[in-house]
Amino acid sequence: MATPNGIYRNGGGVPKGGSSSIKVERPFALNSNVKSSNNKSKLTTSTSNLRRSSPGSLCGGNTTIKDDSGVPGRVRVAVRLRPRNGEEMVADADFADCVELQPELKRLKLRKNNWDSDTFEFDEVLTEFASQKRVYEVVAKPVVESVLEGYNGTVMAYGQTGTGKTFTLGRLGEEDTAARGIMVRAMEDILADVSPEVDSVSVSFLQLYMETIQDLLDPSNDNISIVEDPRTGDVSLPGATLVDIRDQHSFIELLSLGEAHRFAANTKMNTESSRSHAILMVNVRRSVKGREAAISSENGNTSHLVKNSKPGVVRKGKLVVVDLAGSERIDKSGSEGHTLEEAKSINLSLSALGKCINALAENSPHVPVRDSKLTRLLRDSFGGTARTSLIVTIGPSPRHRGETSSTIMFGQRAMKVENMVKIKEEFDYKSLSRRLDIQLDRLIAEHERQQKVFRDELEKIAAEAEDRVSVAERKYSEALENERLQHQKDYKESIKKLEEQWALNQQKCDKENKDLEARAGPSAAASEEIAELKQLLQNEINSRKAAEQETNTVKAQLAQWKRSEAAGNAEILKLRKMLEEEAHQKEKLEEEITILRSQLLQLSYEADETRRGLDKGGSGNGFTGLDSLVSQVRQSQLNESGNGQKGSIAKLFEQVGLQKILTLLESEDADVRIHAVKVVANLAAEEANQEKIVEAGGLTSLLMLLRSSEDEMIRRVAAGAIANLAMNETNQELIMSQGGISLLSITASDADDPQTLRMVAGAIANLCGNDKLQTKLRAEGGIKALLGMVRCAHPDVLAQVARGIANFAKCESRAATQGSKSGKSLLIDDGALPWIVQNANNEASPIRRHIELALCHLAQHEVNAKDMISGGALWELVRISRDCSRADIRTLAHRTLTSSPIFQAELRRLRIDC
């Protein structure tokens, strides 16, 4: 809040020399309810009703949401005394300080006179010798720890102008680290606790000036609206610039940039008095480990697995640090003119804040939150869900006793406000969806592998069974045939022997009969012959029985072979049954995969619904298709009296009409032209208005302004409006036919402002995405204009240049694939390749992503390969295929390298494995 002459500011230390310190008017009327030291018992009784016990210290590592007195979420208040400055030492040399501190008792005495004083108790009393580190630990560190656990937190400084609020909160400490304020120390603790891989920290820096919320990181963003969620009542600022923070150095640079844009003025009370309320918003997003069920596939029960899958938990905490502008009395500060209006606005907003705190402290049924934008912004900090710490700053001078008393009473009432702190958690459906995708792919791959193994095993078993059956049948047939032939042979031989024996016996019998007849020999010889014949007959009978036994043996063997055949058939039937069971199992697995897919679709749908709910309200940036030109244009109603009353764009559009607004683009008054082109630019940001603007001649008027106007603001906004219109393909052809690319090229060569160059580059980048306009765009100098704008070296300008080159390369690649284009790329002909290679690994993510895409698209056309090799692009392609953070770009680069014979030959020559 002030200068090195005794009032704290970013560049000053503890003040030792003097500027004037005059009494200030209290921001709102207070009836002092102060208890004197003689009425100490009454004070103790009233404070005990407020806090139920003596308040504990704000310091330490207590991260619970109840404070040490057992009151959940009570606003904690600390008081800090500024030491006397040089002027006070001279002017108040004969007077004692009006404030006496008792830090060990956490008490403060405010003297009425030499014999009477009022005593107050606070959660912490900080003397003029308290270090910045001590202040941070007792006031802000518990709030920061709560934010890291997923709660909202607020740290706010309140007090008379010149008492050290900005010194306490916003001191950067670039020269002396011990002098760092709460903002810098809080971010240091946050960055030390979060993990860059899974957590994120983003920052917005704003000021509330004359009841208008302005972006300190983008001064052109000067009228940010407040959006309230009708369901939860949460307050957000979707139009504010949001910057991701990775290290402490970048955060300090951001604070320096914002502080340079903050309004300040010289008053009698303070040579550099803040004329606005500064608001730092730090959003911390942390993933909670161990709160989600692990995905395991060891049991193989995929249905049970999906039922037990739980989405991860994300905690979102928001830290709000508010450096209020100092309250002041007009007769003491000497404010005049515009500074007087600023002082009135400051006092009105502080008065509205005091009324809200009074209503909350008294449990009033109505809290006037909507009386001021400050109270709307802080509705979560007082009576909401945030953990809040308030530090009130006071001075010792008796000349300002009234302002000091008002400040102390403000802190006393704030100590009665209780918040219901709540953790901010949500399910991480995106992470769960990614895990389920991976698990589903793995299960499908495992199922396919098992199916292949099963089919191979089944084919192997079937082949073995067929071989065994064929071998058994062949052996059985051979054995049966051999046995049959052998028995047939033996039978024939036996018959032949019997016939021969029978013939011999017949001859012998005939001979013997003749002999018997002739000689009539003795009967004994005949008996012997008969006996011999009987023996031969018995032998024949035995031989026949042996043949029958052998036949039965053969039949038994045949029956055994038949049983073997039946067993083989049974085994075949068993294999067929197994095959049918495997087919049934396959159908069951396919049904489970179908269920998994349906559940995945349901989860994806829920994730999209959740994301749309969280992102409701959008980013709110002004121009569609560009980063942001202005969030809203402050438009004064154009009339002859010039009363300065503000109206919205929509109301102005309804009252005046598009044709009248376009007519104002040709006004002789420069201010009227600026306001009119801003209105047209905001209307062009809505797709529904673009066709009306073109039909009414708005495009022609914008091109005429770009051609004729010498005002940098008009050219910048006109280029942004043309960029919005260039998002439509029909409008792109109209822009080209009316010489728009030539005008944009001339504007690019004449302009030095990064914002103007960003708008021009965005418009040309949109035109580069039209396949039909590429040749004409290049002939009229579009590519040369893009490459010429890299001289600015601004990251936003380079991002738009990279996007235009990527769009142009993509269209060329598509035309080459369709056969409608041949020959080397026009980008290479115009000398864009060296810049592309130089920025392929740019630190800025948008630039690097577009350049990587451009390289991949250029490499898809074989005729560009040699130039890309000689220009060093091959090495970048290899790096992209390996290290690119985006899987789709990495896959495209790898596919391009592997499909190009020229690249493959060069990689083999260099012995690089892609």
| pLDDT at residue number 453 | 92
Question: Is residue 780 over pLDDT 90?
Answer: no
Question: Is residue 43 over pLDDT 70?
Answer: no
Exposure b/e, 174-205, CB count within 10 A at least 16 = b: eeeeebbbbbbbbbbbbbebbeeeebbbebbb
Query: If DSSP states are collapsed to H, E and C, what string results for 673-702?
Result: HHHHHHHHHHHHCCHHHHHHHHHCCHHHHH
Q: Which residue in 344, 321, 207 sits closest to 262, CA to CA?
A: 207
Question: Is residue 140 over pLDDT 90?
Answer: yes
Question: Is residue 643 over pLDDT 70?
Answer: no
Q: CA 763 to CA 290: how far, in whole Å?
A: 48
| pLDDT at residue number 647 | 41
| pLDDT at residue number 602 | 55
Q: CA 540 to CA 649: how far, in whole Å?
A: 132
Q: Which residue in 740, 816, 848 sits closest to 785, CA to CA?
A: 740
The model scores a pTM over 0.85 = no
Q: CA 818 to CA 640: how far, in whole Å?
A: 60
Using one digit for the tens of pLDDT, what is the confidence trace for 216-261? 999 898 889 999 887 777 888 999 999 999 999 999 999 999 888 8
Across the chain, mean pLDDT equals 77
CB 848 within 8 A of CB 801: no
| pLDDT at residue number 824 | 85
Q: Which residue in 809, 839, 804 sits closest to 827, CA to CA?
A: 809
CB 914 within 8 A of CB 898: yes
Of all residues in the chain, what percent carry a pLDDT higher than 90?
21
Using one digit for the tens of pLDDT, what is the confidence trace for 856-896? 988 888 888 888 888 888 888 888 888 888 888 888 888 88
Supply the DSSP symbol for 66: B
pLDDT band at 204 (very low <50, low <70, confident <90, very high): very high
| pLDDT at residue number 633 | 33
Question: Is residue 839 over pLDDT 80?
Answer: yes
Using one digit for the tens of pLDDT, what is the confidence trace for 555-567? 888 888 888 888 8
Question: Is residue 77 over pLDDT 50?
Answer: yes
Average pLDDT over residues 600-625: 44
pLDDT band at 389 (very low <50, low <70, confident <90, very high): very high
| pLDDT at residue number 746 | 86
SS3 at position 183? helix
Q: Which residue in 903, 802, 912 sits closest to 852, CA to CA?
A: 802
HSE at residue 384, side-chain half, CA atoms within 13 A, is: 22
Question: Is residue 756 over pLDDT 90?
Answer: no
Average pLDDT over residues 462-468: 91
CB 677 within 8 A of CB 705: yes
Average pLDDT over residues 457-461: 91
| Rounded (10°) angle between helices 740-750 and 698-708 | 30
Question: Is residue 635 over pLDDT 50?
Answer: no
Range name among 589-603, 619-633, 708-722 with the lowest pLDDT average: 619-633
DSSP H helices, 64-164, are: 86-91, 132-139, 141-148
pLDDT band at 213 (very low <50, low <70, confident <90, very high): very high
Question: Is residue 330 over pLDDT 90?
Answer: no
Question: Is residue 72 over pLDDT 50?
Answer: yes
Choice between 599 and 498, residue whose per-residue pLDDT is larger: 498
| pLDDT at residue number 79 | 96
pLDDT band at 598 (very low <50, low <70, confident <90, very high): low
Q: CA 767 to CA 612: how far, in whole Å?
A: 30
| pLDDT at residue number 871 | 86
